[in-house]
A = this chain, B = another copy of it.
Amino acid sequence: MIGSVLAPASPGEMLRLVRTGRAVTRTQLVTATGLSRSTVMHRVGALLSAGLLVEGARPDGSGGGRPPATLALNAGLGVVLAADLGAQHGRLAVCDLEGEALAEREEPIHIADGPDAVLDWVGRTFDALLAEAGRHDADVLAVGIDVPGPVDVERGRPVSPPIMPGWDDHPVADRLAERYPGALVRLERDVQAMALAEHRRHHSLLRDMVFVKVATGIGAGIIADGEVLQGSHGRAGDIGHIRSIEPSEVLCSCGNHGCVAALASGSALVRRLKEAGYAVESSLDVVELVKAGDAVATHHVRDAGRLLGAALAALVSVVAPSLVVVGGDLADASEPLLAGIRESVYERCSPRSTQELRILSSRLRERAGVVGAATLALEHMLAPAAVDARLARRGVAA
């Protein structure tokens, strides 16, 4: 009775029970939902006929009689397109409904070329990847895309993104929705997609974690109680403009001076090393120097970590995560960067707040964004309410 009351399971909720492995046979669904066997049979039938579920292999039965058929999400029903757009490179993928990439490609781009040029490239690349995966436009069920700047998630548009000239209020999601009619499109800020990816793939048992991207700019994606924290206008985690602990006259693009992004980002490191006489053009050059054991570059990266760590100490006090994951181009120079970050965080936070805090490198590395884009599209598309609405459009009663 309690079961029935606590899980008023619509078909979409039943799909979630199957997808998460909590109930994978009709009998388990009856137990998990408390619904009558006939209702469960009816709803499973609707999910099967809509192609969302498939019957899997029958496991070996230990008792007599026919063992029950297992149910599974039909990962091959269609595909999800994922696009991770950075300031200087884009990574796109065609994924199945489990989020596994069927085809994937990374290319240098310039986000500052504006939405027309970049989204044309996205469209052409998706065409090529779909062909490579042997799939068609009509197979596209959802599209996830992330960009390096604040986003109005509801409207699917960037909001005054500082390093994306020409993109402000551009209808990115609408353009993709026109291109793939019927597909659900979701636009997110890059760090939020990356945080989601690291959480779902590697740390899904944690309630609270933070993903920090250290690349051309600096930003953080926050997972609170298992979900992405958006904040007003999707701006949560915009930590690049926290004032650094060291007085500085270095100007930031926001008009202030001394912001942590102006002192500890990839661009800041390029500037610092140029001033020290190095011929460096990008974060990648800085990482190369560190990997080659250059002491000056290593010193500057560690110092940047220290400055960033002071801002992260404030972030740790505010949201109390149990894990901070560090990603982005610069994270490939992880030893000095993490050493600097840890030094500041553990020095500046209260002992209680760091007692169980871990600070680790990204495990998905350069794939964090594209995995995140696929994940957010999938979670949106397979949310119980979205599945129920999909069935309702097909005329299936709940």
A365 within 8 A of B: no
Given contacts A208-B236, A238-B320, A256-B350, 10 further A-B contacts (CB under 8 A): A34-B398, A222-B318, A230-B320, A231-B319, A241-B350, A242-B314, A254-B350, A255-B351, A256-B348, A318-B319
A227 CB to closest chain B CB, in angstroms? Answer: 8
A315-B314, A322-B232, A385-B6 given as contacts; is B1 within 8 A of A397 (CB)? yes
A2 and B392: CB pair below 8 A? yes
Given contacts A5-B392, A10-B8, contact A320 B242 (CB under 8 A): no
**What is the chain B residue whose CB lies nearest that of A311?**
B314
CB of B1 within 8 A of CB of A320, answer: no
In the bound complex, residues from chain B placing their C-beta under 8 Å from that of A170 are: none
Please give the count of copies of this chain that the complex contains.
Answer: 2
Contact with B along A100-144 (1 / 0, CB 8 A): 000000000000000000000000000000000000000000000
Q: B160, B237, B243, B395: which contacts A313 (Cβ < 8 A)? A: B243
Report yes or no: B318 in contact with A318, Cβ–Cβ below 8 A. Answer: yes
Complex Cα spacing A282 to B232, Å: 36
Contacts A231-B224, A238-B317, A243-B313 given; indicate if A388 touches B6 (C-beta within 8 A): yes
CA distance A311 to B316 in the complex (A): 12
The verdict on A391 contacting chain B, using a C-beta distance below 8 Å, is yes
- 18 A–B pairs (Cβ distance < 8 Å), ordered by A: A1-B397, A6-B385, A8-B9, A8-B10, A34-B398, A207-B232, A225-B227, A231-B321, A235-B353, A237-B320, A239-B314, A239-B317, A243-B245, A243-B348, A254-B352, A255-B350, A314-B315, A318-B319
Contacting pair A320 B392 (CB below 8 A): no
Q: Is the CB of A150 within 8 A of B224?
A: no
Within 8 A of B (CB), among A1-21: 1-2, 4-6, 8-10, 12-13
A249 interfacial by beta-carbon distance below 8 Å: no
- By a CB distance below 8 angstroms, the chain B residues around A4 are 392, 397-398
Interface size class of A (residues with CB under 8 A): 35 or more
Find out whether the CB atom of B321 lies under 8 angstroms from the CB atom of A232.
yes
Measured CB to CB, the nearest residue on chain B to A397 is B1
Interface residue? A364 (CB, 8 A): no
Q: Return chain B residues, CB-CB under 8 Å to A256.
A: 348, 350
Q: A263-300: contact bitstring with B at CB < 8 Å (1 yes, 0 no)?
A: 00000000000000000000000000000000000000
Q: Is A349 an interface residue (CB 8 A)?
A: yes
Interface residue A382 (Cβ < 8 Å from any Cβ of B): no
A227 CB contacts on chain B under 8 angstroms:
225
A229 interface residue per 8 A CB criterion: yes
- Chain B residue contacts of A1, Cβ below 8 A: 392, 395, 397-398
> A241 with B8: in contact, given A254-B351, A256-B350 (CB under 8 Å)?
no
Q: Contact: A5 with B208, CB < 8 Å?
A: no
Measured between C-beta atoms, what is the minimum distance from A16 to chain B in Å?
Answer: 13
The verdict on A178 contacting chain B, using a C-beta distance below 8 Å, is: no
Q: A298 to B385, alpha carbons, bound, how many Å?
A: 55
CA separation between A295 and B168, bound complex, in Å? 47
User: What 3 A-B pairs have minimum CB-CB distances, sorted nearest first?
Assistant: A231-B320, A5-B388, A314-B314
A71 to B386, CA, bound (A): 31
